[in-house]
Amino acid sequence: MDSEHPILKAFLAGSFSGTFSTILFQPLDLVKTRLQNTTSTVISRHGTVSMVSTFANILQQEHISGLWRGMVPSLTRCVPGVGLYFCFLDTMKSQYLHNRAPSALESVAMGVTARCLSSAVLIPVTVVKTRVESGVYSYNGVLSALREIYRIEGVKGMTCGLLPTLFRDAPFSGLYLMFYTQTKSIIPRVIAGVLASVVTQPADVLKTKMQLYPNKFNGLWAVAVYVNAEHGMKGYFKGLVPRMLRRTLMAAMAWTIYERVSMKIGLK
């Protein structure tokens, strides 16, 4: 089996899997962001903001193409992000585990480390993605957005929301990788995805607030206090259902495609 350029192959296989999963589940990510930003959502007849009413409002105001708003920054973030994630995983497995099967604890550590690295590298694009999806900001492309954010807000604006992003992504990836490597059954993986989504949802809400309104909050604690004061405990779980569906389904699809592509290109 051809074993040349394993790091490049891991990156390409991961990027390939990230492309399909990102495109397919973009509407869920968009709705999640809108639900977390109440100024851009519409109240339903019953006086609440729901996933269904948000979907309906987007279709009514922006048509079906509106469900894929923010697709370019999403692809710019997720495609290399997933590629880097699998690249880091493959590197750690070959360098430190010598390609043996990891233990449960090693899987958690690898998942957390790989996700922290990939998320940190791509945090500027994550800021752009969140802002475009919210409907609050309007940019002429990803590069133009990055230049504008840097010009107006500096490095702080480019990296806002990094801490809650790591609190959100690292536990999810660690738990999911542990269940993925330790069991062949799909049910525990789905349960792991659901539970990890619930546990990390507050961090996702705080991340969205910080990236949309960087001048309004002075740190993570200030955002947490604001969300609690405005919405109570339920405010920390806004957008849970679409995010739970997206993260669980996206992880399952990304891993499945990655495994298949890896075998095709001689990585496994």
Distances (CA, A) of 14 to 97, 177, 255, 264: 20, 15, 8, 13
CA R_g for the chain: 19
Q: Please name which of 67, 69, 107 lies closest in space to residue 255, comparing C-alpha atoms.
A: 107
Task: Say if CB 140 and CB 157 are below 8 A apart.
Answer: no
- 3-state SS class at 217: coil
Convert the pLDDT of each residue in 65-82 to its tens digit: 999 999 999 999 999 999
Task: Give the chain's domain count.
Answer: 1
Higher pLDDT, 46 or 172: 172
Tell me the C-alpha distance between 39 and 73, whole Å: 22
Rounded distance between C-alpha atoms, residue 216 and residue 172, angstroms:
28
State how far the Cα of 219 lies from the Cα of 187, in Å rounded to an integer: 38
Q: Considering the chain, what is the average pLDDT of its residues? A: 89
Would 1 be classed as within a structural domain? no
Whether the predicted pLDDT of 189 surpasses 90? no
* Token pair of 48 as six digits: 């609440």
The pLDDT of residue 39 is 62
Q: What is the pLDDT of residues 113-153, one digit of tens each?
A: 999 999 999 999 999 999 999 888 989 999 999 999 999 99
The answer to whether residue 11 is domain-embedded is yes
Q: Looking at residue 268, what is its pLDDT?
A: 61
For residue 104, the enclosing domain spans 6-264
CA distances from residue 31 to 66, 122, 176, 209 in whole angstroms, order as listed: 10, 22, 23, 15
CATH code of 80's domain: 1.50.40.10
Q: What is the model's pTM?
A: 0.87
Is the per-residue pLDDT at 1 higher than 50?
no
pLDDT at 3: 58
Q: Confirm whether 21 is domain-assigned.
A: yes
Residue 99 within any structural domain of the chain: yes
58 occurs within a structural domain: yes
CA pair distance 176, 254, nearest whole angstrom: 12
Q: pLDDT band at 200, cuts 50/70/90?
A: very high
